[in-house]
Amino acid sequence: MDMISIFFLLFLAALGWFWFDSLRALEIARNMGKHVCRNYNLQFLDDTVANIGLALVRDKTGRRVLRRTYRFLFTETGNTRLEGRLVLLGDKVESVTMEPYRIMP
């Protein structure tokens, strides 16, 4: 095998790893969005999250990991669509923020 073929195979392997890692992170974010909404008695809309950011950062131990930011929609009454954001650092949830909403009695 020549060097170009080896680099091409390595590129395909890296692309495959990134694809499957992204699918796993997307599933973690979707499950966490559902969990947060269920805990606060909110409705998780569209049953999905959308990736809106990707960065290579260092975690607490100094290891390089991907920080992914996801957006999801929720409602408290069914009449409004509010936005939440979920940040994953590697495969761990770093933060969850949500737009202010009315707490229903």
Q: What is the dihedral of CA 21, 31, 68, 47, to 10 degrees?
A: 110
pLDDT tens per residue across span 68-104: 999 999 999 888 999 999 999 999 999 999 999 887 6
Give the start-to-end residue ranges of the domains of the chain.
26-98
pLDDT digits (tens, 9 = 90+) for 8-19: 999 999 999 999
Q: Is the dihedral of CA 4, 6, 8, 10 positive or negative?
A: negative
Q: Where are the beta strands (DSSP E) in 4-90?
A: 43-44, 50-58, 64-75, 82-89
In the prediction, which pLDDT does 105 show?
Answer: 66
pLDDT at 79: 87
DSSP class of 96: E
Predicted pLDDT at 78: 83
- In this predicted structure, what is the pLDDT of residue 94? 96
Provide the percentage of residues in the chain whose pLDDT is more than 90: 89
Q: How far apart are CA 23 and CA 64, in angstroms?
A: 19
